[in-house]
Chains A and B, each alone.
Chain A
Amino acid sequence: MADLTTKTIAQLRDGMRAKEFSAAEVFDQYFTRAENSRALNAFVRFNVELAWDQVKASDERIAKGEARPLEGIPMGIKDLFCTEGLETNAASRILYGFRPPYESTVSQNLLDDGAVFMGKLNLDEFAMGSSNETSAHGPAINPWRREGEETKLTPGGSSGGSAAAVAARLCAGATATDTGGSIRQPAALTATVGLKPTYGRCSRWGIVAFASSLDQAGPIAKDVRDSAILLNSMAGYDPKDSTSIDRPVPDYEQAIAGGVKGMKIGIPKEYRLDGMSQEISDLWTKSAKLLEEQGAEIVEVSLPLTKYALPVYYIVAPAEASSNLARYDGVKYGVRVEDDNIHEMYKKTRGEGFGAEVKRRLMIGTYVLSAGYYDAYYLRAQRVRKKIAMEMAAAFEQVDLLLTPSSPSAAFGLGEKSADPIEMYLNDVFTVTANLAGVPGISIPGGLDAQGLPLGLQLIAPAFGEETMIRGAAALEEAIGFNAQPTEWWR
């Protein structure tokens, strides 16, 4: 039998319906491959028993001609999404053993559409990180390597497990979340497609919260069409999430065909950072050309406040996190470190349960909200955030989409950037603005650098401009024609 793991979700869907192969065969191939790829540390937990029941049910439905949109599609779920009865610990020791008695809305939407969950995917602890190195399970490993080297590289973060798993074909698609770039940066580093929707497009209900005003779920997939198919299922209004938007979900897969003819695409000049590598700069220029050749008009736009986006983010996100993570206190779930004094119990539990990066951010967040500093840090950051969002909105008066690189560098070696938190934070320099403004962004593979590592390109759209964004991404994807695969060193 052919290697079904090379197929996209669209191909698997169509193939199963045409009875070319069964859901069981698809699952078996993916699962075998995933089990043999433990070296990538992408899956932290498999869902074998439950999954097989689902697979059988899928084949029965397909046989009866009752297949749902994602019937029998094997998916990986970032371990930030609560899955009913299946341990969810957000890659944090403090949540070890937590089995949610509920299913997140987004994962439930996928289940309702027939998707099969293979297991839970690695991530940075509580989604705080850009390299997967803050995971309590150790980092997921990027299937891509520098040519002729064996150095282990990061798949990016925080959705590093999702990106690594899709890139290595361990699952057909994966859920991910993006607070400052956590879908798009790992997608860029692994040559996958990562789509962060408009804030409020996907429900946050049942997703372990990091920074509530920024967190947004989205897919990581093999190509743009698959990301659109997954978004169709994940998106939707949820009355259980007060920040969810009541707005119909269009058919995103349909949007692919449109092309970019007549579209205005902006190139934000301030994104050309000092010290940007020539390769990234060239890739950016080349891709703009490709879009132009397809009939788009390329316009230079100015977003001078961009440089303040990361510092704003590193106040707002830790502030919200410091409050969101207060519930991990050793009382209701997870792990407790005992002490006779309740407040000592809290401190020990949290001191031992959280990793270094989480603690650092909780400290920053606590500090910027504390008496005497609130105005200077938190309030100021929220006002700068407003200015950034206004600037972004003004840019979208001129253009339909923005084109930028997805990340400032290709995948880097584990441990290479972990000494300096700020250097690590700079990974999100191109992605974080979309989170602050609440607008959608997508990263697609742009090409390989001189060392053979993938580089990503990002398109950003105005709020609820997902269809336009998908249209642009599909056109660019086709023009680039990227089809490289990592060599399978890990099996």
Chain B
Amino acid sequence: MTEQRNLLRGETGDWEVVIGLEVHAQVTSNTKLFSGSSAAYGAGPNENVSLVDAAMPGMLPVINQFCVEQAIKTGLGLNAKIHLWSRFDRKNYFYPDLPQGYQISQYKDPIVGEGEIEVELDAERTIKVGIERLHLEQDAGKSIHDLAPKESYVDLNRSGVALMEIVSKPEMRSAEEASAYFGKLRTIVRYLGTCDGNMDQGSMRADVNVSVCRAGNYAKFVETGDFSHLGTRTETKNVNSIRFVRQVVDYEARRQIQVLEAGGTIDQETRLFDVKTGETRTMRSKEDAHDYRYFPDPDLLPLEFSQEFVDRIAASLPELPDAKKHRFVEEYGLSSYDAAVLVADKDKATYFEGVASGRDGKLASSWVTTELFGMLNKEGLEITESPISAEQLGGLIDLISDETISGKIAKQVFELMLDEDKGKAPKDIVEARGLKQVTDTGALEAAADKIIAANPEQVAKVKDKPKALGWFVGQVMKETGGKANPQAVNAILKKKLGVE
């Protein structure tokens, strides 16, 4: 069923948008997919290029086992079918960043088949997105166009770097869904460690396929599997941020609706996203771009491995975000959305778990997401750079839970751990600075008596307005330097002032 939120209003009626993503994720390998040169980012021109990558005559590809393992790992993380037999094909086209004149990719028989992942949109909505396939392929080099007026400079450092191309089904129905899916993929590969997810360096980028159709047609497509119910799609290449994915979908959907409503047609074409304007535009003319003449690479044999090989990899998999999310809900009593926010980043989840383990989960979650994340945000720090360790924060929560300190004092201790008392255990800080909660009734009663005696008008007021009790509590807390146990103070004051 088409939900209302997915409809786009046009001049001539309602439209729906359909999105599929082809995400290229660079494998975190030392060397390239088919050669022993470095896959590192940021070297000098053609520094990380072997004679294989430069397509010297007679050079031959030999596959990197680590990359194969990472593809399998990622496939398992996508809940997808691992193919024990797959094959590499050549995709033939001429381009200066493609030294061989073909890209070694997997066309007919990819290493990973269909799968499905959960994508959280917000506190209420979680959708499922189908994965069509994942295959291994070579990255291309890079042309630089601004070093000379009439020439392009070609650097092949990226040429041959291992990519996993993860192809979704055309199941996303809004810019929000597409960007959330992209973000979720990033979370998964980072959990697995198969890709560093570094979008600035191009380690992860999406080709965004967008089409629009009249309201109701998507349902017909789902029912029949017949693509003719959908509109012609455009493919916007190499979109390298979650926000840009959203912009591309918004822009393309609007553009396509305008074209169609003006009586035009959409070309099946490749487009580029302009970060500055937020618009897309037609890429290189593609007269023959679609006749890639794929055929099995005769320099390589079929990629075959046993189920045991896959099982060994499966056994080494870390806990994946969805499993972790469900466990956080169960184990720590978090809401599904709070859990999703925490697991979105593996390091954050690990930190949280360090704090929450054996403690009150909700309290831990609130301290981690509010105080700690707030502080990190303000300081521009990553969770891995946090000046307060999970152990320290856990210790602080222990002091709150056993009523050694109040929440307010805890915030004070938190600040101290950032600054003067950096690296110290909260327990020691509290001890050294005498911040322990005062629970000694005698001392609290004395303080209460003193305040009551000094403020007769307030005492009169509280008889009619019991809410004014709070003022007395505040005064007593002040008197005790904030160290008084607020519950105890409350009880003593109530008794002394005769408030129910």
Direct contact of A and B (CB under 8 A): yes
A residues touching B (Cβ–Cβ < 8 Å)?
Answer: 82, 88, 90, 95, 98, 100-102, 104, 204-209, 211-213, 239-243, 319-320, 322-323, 325-327, 329, 331-333, 340, 342-343, 346, 366, 369-371, 374, 378
Q: Is the CB of B92 within 8 A of A371?
A: no
CB contacts (< 8 Å) of A333 on chain B: these are 56-57
How far, in Å, is B32 (CB) from chain A's closest CB? 14
Q: In the bound complex, how far is the Cα of B57 from the Cα of A209, in angstroms?
A: 7
Encode contact with A along B91-109: 1 for CB under 8 Å, 0 otherwise: 0101010011110000000
CB contacts (< 8 Å) of A331 on chain B: these are 96, 99, 154
Given contacts A240-B62, A346-B94, A369-B92, contact A212 B56 (CB under 8 A): no
Q: Per a CB cutoff under 8 Å, which of A102, A323, A329, A342 touches B295?
A: A323
Q: Is the CB of B101 within 8 A of A326?
A: yes
CB contacts (< 8 Å) of A239 on chain B: these are 62
Q: In the bound complex, how far is the Cα of B297 from the Cα of A242, in angstroms?
A: 11
Q: Is the CB of B57 within 8 A of A369?
A: no
Q: Is B60 in contact with chain A by the CB < 8 A criterion?
A: yes
CB contacts (< 8 Å) of A101 on chain B: these are 51, 56
Q: Is the CB of B295 within 8 A of A319?
A: yes
Question: Which residues of B280-307 have CB atoms within 8 Å of chain A's CB atoms?
Answer: 290-291, 293-295, 298-301
Q: Is the CB of B57 within 8 A of A82?
A: yes
Question: Which residues of B31-60 have CB atoms within 8 Å of chain A's CB atoms?
Answer: 51, 54-60
Q: In the bound complex, how far is the Cα of B16 from the Cα of A389, in angstroms?
A: 54
CB contacts (< 8 Å) of A369 on chain B: these are 92, 293-295
How far, in Å, is B142 (CB) from chain A's closest CB? 14
Q: Is B61 in contact with chain A by the CB < 8 A criterion?
A: yes
Q: Is the CB of B96 within 8 A of A205?
A: no
Given contacts A206-B58, A329-B101, A343-B94, contact A102 B300 (CB under 8 A): no
Given contacts A204-B58, A333-B56, contact A370 B102 (CB under 8 A): no
CB contacts (< 8 Å) of A104 on chain B: these are 58
CB contacts (< 8 Å) of B63 on chain A: these are 242
Given contacts A88-B57, A326-B102, A332-B56, contact A371 B298 (CB under 8 A): no
CB contacts (< 8 Å) of A320 on chain B: these are 298
Q: Is the CB of A326 within 8 A of B295?
A: no
Q: Per a CB cutoff under 8 Å, which of B57, B58, B101 touches A323?
A: B101
Q: Is the CB of B299 within 8 A of A205?
A: no
CB contacts (< 8 Å) of B54 on chain A: these are 332
Q: In the bound complex, how far is the Cα of B58 from the Cα of A95, in angstroms?
A: 13
- With both beta carbons as reference points, the residue of chain A lying nearest to B52 in the complex is identified as A240
Encode contact with A along B56-82: 1 for CB under 8 Å, 0 otherwise: 111111110000000000000000000
The interface residues of chain A, by DSSP majority, are classed as loop
CB contacts (< 8 Å) of A207 on chain B: these are 58
- With both beta carbons as reference points, the residue of chain A lying nearest to B63 in the complex is identified as A242
Q: Is the CB of A242 within 8 A of B298?
A: no
24 examples of A-B residue contacts, CB within 8 angstroms: A95-B57, A98-B57, A102-B51, A204-B60, A211-B298, A212-B299, A239-B62, A242-B60, A242-B300, A243-B298, A319-B295, A320-B298, A323-B101, A323-B295, A326-B94, A326-B101, A326-B102, A327-B99, A329-B94, A329-B101, A346-B94, A369-B293, A370-B293, A378-B295
Interface residue total, chain B, C-beta cutoff 8 A: 31
Number of A-B contacts (CB under 8 A): 99
Q: Given contacts A211-B298, A369-B92, could you give 6 more A-B pairs where the C-beta distance is less than 8 Å? A: A100-B58, A209-B58, A242-B63, A325-B101, A327-B99, A327-B100
Given contacts A242-B63, A319-B295, A329-B101, contact A208 B57 (CB under 8 A): yes
Q: Is the CB of A374 within 8 A of B295?
A: yes
Q: Is B90 in contact with chain A by the CB < 8 A criterion?
A: yes
Q: In the bound complex, how far is the Cα of B312 from the Cα of A19, in angstroms?
A: 61
- With both beta carbons as reference points, the residue of chain A lying nearest to B288 in the complex is identified as A370
Q: Is the CB of A323 within 8 A of B94?
A: no
- With both beta carbons as reference points, the residue of chain B lying nearest to A88 in the complex is identified as B57
Q: In the bound complex, how far is the Cα of B59 from the Cα of A82, in angstroms?
A: 10
CB contacts (< 8 Å) of B101 on chain A: these are 323, 325-327, 329
Q: Per a CB cutoff under 8 Å, which of B56, B100, B291 touches A100?
A: B56
Q: Is the CB of A366 within 8 A of B293?
A: yes
Q: Is B433 in contact with chain A by the CB < 8 A criterion?
A: no
Q: Is the CB of B150 within 8 A of A208?
A: no
Q: Is the CB of A242 within 8 A of B61?
A: yes
Q: In the bound complex, how far is the Cα of B57 from the Cα of A138, in angstroms?
A: 22
Q: In the bound complex, how far is the Cα of B60 from the Cα of A139, in angstroms?
A: 29
Given contacts A331-B96, A331-B99, contact A90 B57 (CB under 8 A): yes
Q: In the bound complex, how far is the Cα of B154 from the Cα of A98, in angstroms?
A: 19
Q: In the bound complex, how far is the Cα of B150 from the Cα of A366, in angstroms?
A: 31
CB contacts (< 8 Å) of B56 on chain A: these are 82, 100-102, 332-333
CB contacts (< 8 Å) of B100 on chain A: these are 326-327
CB contacts (< 8 Å) of B57 on chain A: these are 82, 88, 90, 95, 98, 100, 208-209, 327, 333
How far, in Å, is B105 (CB) from chain A's closest CB? 13
Given contacts A82-B58, A204-B60, A205-B58, contact A323 B293 (CB under 8 A): yes
CB contacts (< 8 Å) of A242 on chain B: these are 60-63, 299-301
Q: In the bound complex, how far is the Cα of B298 from the Cα of A228, in angstroms?
A: 28
- With both beta carbons as reference points, the residue of chain A lying nearest to B287 in the complex is identified as A343
Q: Is the CB of A212 within 8 A of B94?
A: no
CB contacts (< 8 Å) of B301 on chain A: these are 242-243
Q: In the bound complex, how far is the Cα of B62 from the Cα of A264, in angstroms?
A: 40
CB contacts (< 8 Å) of B299 on chain A: these are 209, 212, 242-243
Q: In the bound complex, how far is the Cα of B152 from the Cα of A331, in angstroms?
A: 11
Given contacts A212-B299, A332-B54, A370-B291, contact A205 B60 (CB under 8 A): yes
Given contacts A323-B90, A323-B92, A371-B291, contact A205 B298 (CB under 8 A): no
Q: In the bound complex, how far is the Cα of B100 from the Cα of A374, in angstroms?
A: 21
Q: In the bound complex, how far is the Cα of B150 from the Cα of A90, in angstroms?
A: 32
